[in-house]
Amino acid sequence: MRVLIVNTSERTGGAAVAASRLMEALNNNGVKAKMLVRDKETDRLTVAAVPGQKRMQWCFLWERFVVWMRLHLKREHLFEVDIANCGADITQLPEFQEADVVHLHWINQGMLSLKGIRKILDTGKPVVWTMHDIWPATAICHLTLDCRNFETQCGHCRLLPGGGSANDLSTQVWKRKQRMLSDREITFVACSQWLAGEAQKSGLLKGQKVVNIPNAIDTHVYAPKDQQQARQRVGLPTEGHIILFASQRVTNRNKGMDYLLEACQLLAERHAEIADDITVAILGGHAEEIEGQLPFRTCPLGYVNDEQRIVDIYNAADVFVLPSLSENLPNTIMEAMACGVPSVGFRIGGIPEEIDHQQNGYVADYRNSEDLAQGIWWTLYEADHEAVRKACLQKVAHNYSQQSVANRYLEVYESLHHHYNL
């Protein structure tokens, strides 16, 4: 069986990482899988770039320009809205024509248009679409937060000037997505049970199949290492406890750095004796902007794309904290757990599916800095570290290993293969 995985980027972003790992998992389990991307970043033979890079750049700019105009020339929300009004036609490419199954992932920002997806569906090839956020089930947004309009029909969008209207951009794109899906079938895969539940409530996806399969991780790469040696390799203190925070851009408010700052302040006020014991390591772009805001020693590590160094950073930590305000199934928590490092996060999205409370980490009440501080304290000073470490590794091996995830996707592909009589 030949599977074509389609994603905007090869490596940049959580969806790209997940799609790339799935390709490797499938190839390691008897499936011939390739990736087709707009942004090719390595020389891997199994990854192809969409030809016509100038046109692809034009598609990206044109979509942003249209969105910018609809936002009344304001930058706020500019990259929170996607309308897929321009993109590549991949149906004539050899990679597409030789594929038995077309597997879409994150295809925004000029990769595919709604018309392009409809053209893919019209070829009659079975299509699987892994949802890395809620966009395929809404009109224009990737995060619904408190909005439930997508359960009936998008309109009066919170991201548009003045809260939108009954026939605003979100309503128009909703109707275009309806036409795209009309009389066509896609098997949607949500990476978390939470997202699957949200997708099944979408008025847009009525009649479509939605299943839940988590992302895969290579447990040969993300694995426990000697903590002291890992700390030395990445230049972190060899003494004391290390709290790790990671995000592509650490100043992204959605990732919850403000809550980590508050939680650390609470810990410092209540436990003065730990002031010299704790270091906060910050992995991601703009990390240096946080230095000086924390009551503990801070080590900004910046943006890192070397996988072995990232593995060392996880292994150097005693706890990984991700107080995100909205998440699907974060790769970062999975990566930390695969290295035997417990995580602390809020009870939101797919996070409670990854973290088993007080077994392999701590699930704090949503937007509750006090409980977040308690979770960090419990993990560092109260938990049975060896038992927690073993629970992390067992959870990853059972749920997120390459073989486990590949087998579940194979079941989906085989059912489609039978349904389409291929």
Q: How many residues does the chain have?
A: 422
d(CA 115, CA 154): 19
Specify the pLDDT at position 93.
Answer: 98
* Total-model pTM: 0.87
For position 421, what pLDDT does the model report? 64
Task: Return the DSSP state at 264.
Answer: H
Q: What is the pLDDT along the chain (422 residues), one digit of tens a residue?
A: 999 999 999 999 889 999 999 999 999 999 999 999 999 999 999 999 999 999 999 999 999 999 999 999 999 999 999 999 999 999 999 999 999 999 999 999 999 999 999 999 999 999 999 999 999 999 999 999 889 999 999 999 999 999 999 999 999 999 999 999 999 999 999 999 999 999 999 999 999 999 999 999 999 999 999 999 999 999 999 999 999 999 988 988 889 999 999 999 999 999 999 999 999 999 999 999 998 899 999 999 999 989 999 999 999 999 999 999 988 889 999 999 999 999 999 999 999 999 999 999 999 999 999 999 999 999 999 999 999 999 999 999 999 999 999 999 999 999 997 777 65
The position carrying tokens 């991780």 is: 217
In the numeric block, the tokens 């790790």 are attached to: 244
- Token reading at 314: 């996880």
Q: Taking a C-beta distance cutoff of 8 angstroms, is the pair 145, 207 a contact?
A: no
Reduced to 3 states (helix: H, G, I; strand: E, B; else coil), residue 258 is helix
Percent of the chain exceeding pLDDT 70 equals 100
Q: For residue 316, give the H/E element and its range.
A: helix 307-316
Query: Are 333 and 351 contacting, i.e. CB atoms less than 8 angstroms apart?
Result: yes
Helices 402-419 and 385-399, packing angle to 10 deg: 20
Q: What CA–CA distance (Å, rounded) separates 144 from 348?
A: 13
- In the sheet that holds 297-302, the strands lie side by side as 297-302, 278-285, 241-249, 319-322, 343-346, 361-364
* Cα(259)–Cα(267) distance, integer angstroms: 12
